[in-house]
Amino acid sequence: NRVIVLDSRPEGTPTNANFKFENQAQPEPKEGEVLLKAKYVSVDPYLRGRMTTAKSYIPPFEVGQPLASGIIAEVVASHNDKFPVGQYVNGMLQWAEYQVSDGKGLTKVDATIASPSAYLGVLGLTGLTAHLGLMEIGKPKAGETVVVSGAAGAVGSIVGQVAKIIGCRVVGIAGSDEKVQYLKEKLGFDEVLNYNSTSDITEAIGKACPDGVDVYFDNVGGSISDAVYAHINRLARIVLCGSISVYNETSVPMGPRVETNLIKRSALMQGFILSDFAEKFPSSVQQIAQWLQEGKIKQTETIKEGFENIPQAFIDLFSGGNKGKMVVKVD
Ligand code: NDP
């Protein structure tokens, strides 16, 4: 039974040396417990924060202890009537091939509605983050211009599609020409900029947003966001979802550096963590599922194969190695 533990806290960009594979005895489920076999493992940028000791809304991982994330697992032995053998479940679980659970925090996954991995992405926390962050803070209206950074990622690719459904002009910012093409041709974004090949990103955003920016959904922070703030409209809404561009910095640059624009334009900037909107989860999931069914939203995921590749898949998030949700299929 392979288990991945945190071997050392990363300094800068994480490497494989920060993770250790241990061979542990396969646990035995007791009364009320189930034995779970991991099937699909979510890797997420926020896990980087849990590898530090910085104070946060969620406790840090401990060195020498298993890492954990959203995992779809199959019940392979059961002493719990709620979860029979063969049932697929979703939960915050350890990076282990096998583990026991008392069922607390597990939800059943209906693999007949969507692929199990969708529950880690569009039908899971990713879809909720995109939909609720955009609607509750961004409050987009038809005809407005919405800019989203990290546009080809798990959250960003859904934000753009939801904004299109609302009737907005959608401009994405992403890291490669292939991603630009995908977002424009497959997901219907109006314009997408490759921040790696655009010499003057501030000017390019101005050209892509002739009427300015009404909503900015920010997944990356840093200099990309500075460039967007230069074009912010009066009463614009800025949704602070993530700041992946600084997660690996050892000293974080100060910002926002063009905040005077936000003052002059009476803009609103608000951060959130998904649990802020917990009471809206059921209606949000229902809405997203309906859009999926109607073909208005497309599920995008990058699936890596093999338990041994979980750390690398996580590391690849920081060099843009994914389109849509990054998931590792274990078998
Ligand atoms: P993504 O699927 O977007 O993966 C990360 C992507 O970020 C990469 O594919 C890469 O794409 C981009 N990226 C990596 N490094 C940089 C950089 N230095 N500058 C610009 N872009 C970079 O991850 P998620 O969709 O899961 O998460 C997106 C953001 O949302 C993260 O910041 C995350 O922490 C945050 N988040 C916040 C939540 C909340 O409750 N507030 C909940 C969930 C996520 P590219 O090729 O375009 O560079």
Q: Is 272 in the pocket of ligand 1 (CB under 6 A)?
A: yes
- Do residues 236 and 321 share a domain? no
- Do residues 144 and 172 share a domain? yes
- Do residues 170 and 264 share a domain? yes
Is residue 85 exposed (0-12), middle (13-18) or buried (19+ Cβ within 10 Å)? exposed
In angstroms, the CA 297 to CA 258 distance is 34
- Do residues 114 and 146 share a domain? no
Number of domains in the chain: 2
- 262 belongs to a structural domain: yes
Please give the distance, rounded to the nearest whole angstrom, from the Cα atom of residue 17 to the centre of ligand 1: 22
- Do residues 129 and 264 share a domain? yes
- 33 belongs to a structural domain: yes
- Do residues 101 and 172 share a domain? no
In angstroms, the CA 306 to CA 311 distance is 11
Q: Is 44 in the pocket of ligand 1 (CB under 6 A)?
A: yes
- 114 belongs to a structural domain: yes
Q: Is 80 in the pocket of ligand 1 (CB under 6 A)?
A: no
- Do residues 139 and 262 share a domain? yes
Which residue has a Cα nearest atom 16 of ligand 1?
A: 245
- Do residues 55 and 106 share a domain? yes
Residue 259 is predicted with a pLDDT of 64
Which residue has a Cα nearest atom 39 of ligand 1?
A: 273
**Residue 108 CB contacts under 8 Å (≥ 6 apart), including other chains:** 83, 87, 88, 89, 90
- 293 belongs to a structural domain: no
Residue 43 is predicted with a pLDDT of 98
Rg (the chain; Cα; Å): 20
- Do residues 53 and 186 share a domain? no
Please give the distance, rounded to the nearest whole angstrom, from the Cα atom of residue 44 to the centre of ligand 1: 8
Residues of the chain below pLDDT 50: none
Residue 50 is predicted with a pLDDT of 96
Half-sphere exposure of 147 (CA within 13 A, CB side): 35
Task: State pLDDT tens for residues 185-206.
Answer: 999 999 999 999 999 999 999 9
Task: Give the global pTM.
Answer: 0.96
Residue 255 is predicted with a pLDDT of 65
Which residue has a Cα nearest atom 2 of ligand 1?
A: 153
- 294 belongs to a structural domain: no
Which residue has a Cα nearest atom 14 of ligand 1?
A: 318
Mutate to test the pocket of ligand 1, among 50, 244, 301 (most ligand atoms within 8 A of CB): 244
Q: Is 155 in the pocket of ligand 1 (CB under 6 A)?
A: yes
In angstroms, the CA 248 to CA 52 distance is 10
- 253 belongs to a structural domain: yes
Q: Is 153 in the pocket of ligand 1 (CB under 6 A)?
A: yes
Q: Is 284 in the pocket of ligand 1 (CB under 6 A)?
A: no
- Please report how the helices 125-132 and 281-293 are oriented relative to each other, as an axis angle in degrees rounded to 10: 100
- 292 belongs to a structural domain: no
- Do residues 159 and 253 share a domain? yes
Q: What is the CATH number of the domain that holds 157?
A: 3.40.50.720
Q: What is the CATH number of the domain that holds 33?
A: 3.90.180.10
Please give the distance, rounded to the nearest whole angstrom, from the Cα atom of residue 300 to the centre of ligand 1: 14
**Residue 154 CB contacts under 8 Å (≥ 6 apart), including other chains:** 44, 121, 126, 300, 301, 322, 324, 325, 326
Scanning 194-257, the segments in alpha helix (DSSP H) are 201-208, 222-229
Structure tokens at 38: 């991991």
- Do residues 309 and 270 share a domain? no
Structure tokens at 224: 């990309």
Structural domain containing residue 188: 125-275
In angstroms, the CA 191 to CA 183 distance is 8
- Do residues 144 and 100 share a domain? no
Q: Give, as one character, the DSSP assignment of residue 212.
A: -
- 61 belongs to a structural domain: yes
Q: Is 288 in the pocket of ligand 1 (CB under 6 A)?
A: no
